[in-house]
């Protein structure tokens, strides 16, 4: 343990209740557990002192150097490591940054982290604090930080591509383009206000300003219309398997998951609660949900299972409705929910009955695998139709900011020619303020704590 009792405690600035930016922070940036190599990241004003103290020197910037790491007090050798130094502001955080590439044994990692904590002014980083410093030092905007967080959490290729687009500035560039257009519109209105009596001021300044406002409003309306696409790529789709008892729901879940997830039994009502499996479908993350059999039952536990099944089905993106529709399953046809009727256990049917399959109905046997590939293909097609090509919006706060900006612009557009120029200018400024929330130029303090709380300690 460190002899410095405050070494590992996070100090906060009293005025802002944010972690002290004058501290030098450190953290394990690679995954925890036994590994060949572990990476420890250090950032802050004492970074060079840390290197001089533990490695004996500050390496040539951006060049790996083999150094012996020693404890700052005892001088004991902790490890032989590859050390690289990134002087600020040309680093990820904008501060002096060092990376210690050490051997990945738990004892080595613990010893190096403890030694760093014994150096005055150094402390363990808070979750996301490296990225937060990058934001505060102007190395990244808020939308890029969100893209970085999504990239770390990406589980499918489509999530990865969307996160890369956002991290590389696709959303920021669009927002800055719209803000630039609105600045031009605002300049026209201000000229009309300030120089209305001047003879050389054009008469059509308001019309030119409104034309720019309309162009931005149209773009925002289009992005809001497909906002759910990007959010679904990030959060995933929900596919619910529903139907009466013994319709083969659990067997179908196991077949799609390609492993035994749910208990399969001939006894009706075996599944009492929902069972979830995470799945990738055409690059889209999917939560596949098995539910209790839909039927009337005197058992209060089974009644609760049926209630949960109906609730999940009504809030799903896709419902696999087994064994056609009856009084218990007809309600699954909710607005916005894609329902695929499925006739199961066709391997037990007489061959002549298979000719009665409806146009939209799929016939399959989870036991033999018949029809499973056709079902997966149908689901992949539906998933691609639902998410489309994504969009700029990936989070609810983006959609809310776009909606706020559009509301202000629509108010300016619909006010008519008698609308006072002062109010028109204020609506444009309000729209620009909403857009500024996307990249973090205004009103984001409450967003930062929620955002970085979900980051890794070393990021």
User: Was 230 annotated as part of a binding site?
Assistant: no
Could you tell me which residues are beta bridge partners of residue 124?
Answer: 26
* 345 labelled binding-site residue: no
**Residue 268 assigned ligand-binding role:** yes
Instruction: Provide the β-strand partners of residue 100.
Output: 40, 83
Instruction: Judge whether 154 is annotated as a binding position.
Output: no
Question: Is 265 annotated in some ligand binding site?
Answer: yes
Known binding residue 139? Answer is: yes
Find the angle CA(175)-CA(178)-CA(179) to the nearest 5 degrees: 85
Q: Binding site annotation covers 269?
A: yes
CB hemisphere CA count around 311 (13 angstroms) = 8
**Residue 157 is assigned to a ligand binding site:** no
248 is in an annotated binding site: yes
Q: Is 102 helix (H, G, I), strand (E, B) or coil?
A: strand
Provide CB contacts within 8 A for 317, sequence distance 6+: 232, 237, 238, 239, 337, 338, 386
* CA–CA gap between residue 171 and residue 166 (Å, rounded): 6
Task: State yes or no: 416 annotated in a binding site.
Answer: no
**Tokens of residue 423, six digits:** 């109010």
Please give the backbone phi and psi of residue 382, each rounded to the nearest 5 degrees, phi first: -65, -40
The three-state secondary structure class of 289 is: strand
Judge whether 282 is annotated as a binding position: no
266 annotated ligand-binding residue: yes
246 marked as part of a ligand binding site: yes
Q: What's the alpha-carbon Rg for the chain, to the nearest Å?
A: 29
Q: Which residue has the tokens 């130094």?
A: 85
Establish whether 41 is an annotated binding residue.
yes
How far is Cα 400 from Cα 397, in angstroms, rounded to an integer? 5
Q: Taking a C-beta distance cutoff of 8 angstroms, is the pair 67, 85 a contact? A: no
* Backbone phi and psi for residue 105, each to the nearest 5 degrees, phi listed first: -70, 150
Burial readout 37-51 (b: 16 or more C-beta within 10 A, e: otherwise)? ebbbbbbbebbebbb
- Say if residue 414 is exposed, middle or buried (CB neighbours under 10 Å; 0-12, 13-18, 19+): exposed
For residue 276, CA distances in Å to 97, 195, 255, 261, 287 come to 42, 65, 14, 9, 6
170 labelled as ligand-binding? no
Please tell me whether 80 is known to bind a ligand: no
Residue 290 marked ligand-binding: yes
Q: Is 293 annotated as a binding residue?
A: yes
The annotation status of 149 as a binding-site residue, yes or no, is no
Instruction: Show binding-site residues for Mg(2+).
Output: 250, 271
Instruction: Show binding-site residues for K(+).
Output: 246, 265, 267, 270
Instruction: Show binding-site residues for GTP.
Output: 246-251, 265-271, 290-293
Instruction: Show binding-site residues.
Output: 41, 99, 139, 246-251, 265-271, 290-293, 459
Instruction: Show binding-site residues for (6S)-5-formyl-5,6,7,8-tetrahydrofolate.
Output: 41, 99, 139, 459
């Amino acid at each position: 343990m460190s002899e410095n009792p405050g070494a590992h405690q996070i100090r906060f600035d009293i005025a802002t209740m944010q972690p002290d930016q004058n501290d030098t922070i450190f953290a394990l940036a690679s995954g925890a557990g036994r590994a060949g190599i572990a990476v420890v990241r250090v950032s802050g004003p004492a970074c060079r002192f840390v290197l001089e103290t533990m490695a004996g020197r500050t390496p040539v910037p951006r060049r790996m150097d083999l150094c012996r790491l020693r404890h700052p007090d005892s001088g004991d050798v902790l490890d032989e490591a590859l050390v690289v130094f990134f002087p600020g502001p040309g680093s990820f955080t904008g501060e002096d940054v060092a990376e210690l590439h050490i051997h990945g044994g738990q004892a080595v990692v613990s010893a190096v982290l403890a030694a760093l904590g014994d150096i005055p002014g150094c402390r363990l980083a808070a979750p996301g604090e490296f990225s937060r410093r990058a934001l505060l030092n102007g190395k990244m905007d808020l939308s890029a930080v969100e893209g970085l967080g999504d990239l770390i959490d990406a589980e499918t290729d489509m999530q990865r591509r969307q996160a890369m687009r956002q991290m590389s500035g696709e959303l920021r560039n669009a927002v800055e383009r719209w803000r630039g257009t609105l600045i031009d519109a605002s300049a026209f209105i201000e000229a009309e206000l300030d120089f209305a009596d001047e003879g050389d001021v054009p008469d059509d300044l308001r019309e030119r300003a409104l034309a720019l406002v309309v162009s931005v409003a149209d773009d925002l309306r289009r992005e809001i219309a497909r906002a759910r696409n990007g959010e679904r790529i990030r959060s995933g789709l929900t596919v619910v398997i529903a139907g009466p008892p013994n319709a083969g729901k659990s067997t179908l879940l196991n077949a799609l998951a390609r492993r035994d997830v749910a208990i399969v039994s001939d006894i009706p009502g075996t599944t009492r609660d929902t069972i979830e499996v995470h799945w990738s479908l055409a690059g889209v993350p999917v939560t596949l949900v098995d539910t209790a059999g839909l039927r009337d039952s005197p058992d209060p536990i089974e009644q609760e299972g049926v209630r949960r099944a109906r609730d999940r089905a009504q809030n799903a993106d896709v419902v696999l409705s087994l064994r056609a529709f009856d009084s218990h399953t007809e309600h699954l046809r909710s607005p916005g929910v894609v329902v695929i009727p499925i006739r199961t256990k066709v391997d037990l049917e007489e061959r002549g009955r298979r000719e009665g399959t409806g146009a939209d109905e799929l016939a399959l046997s989870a036991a033999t695998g018949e029809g499973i590939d056709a079902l997966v293909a149908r689901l992949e097609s539906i998933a691609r139709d639902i998410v489309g090509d994504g969009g700029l919006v990936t989070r609810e706060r983006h959609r809310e900011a776009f909606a706020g900006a559009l509301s202000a612009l629509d108010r300016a557009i619909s006010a008519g020619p008698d609308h006072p120029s002062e109010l028109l200018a204020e609506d444009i400024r309000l729209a620009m303020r909403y857009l500024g929330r996307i990249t973090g130029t205004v009103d984001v303090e409450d967003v930062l704590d929620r955002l970085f709380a979900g980051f890794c300690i070393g990021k």
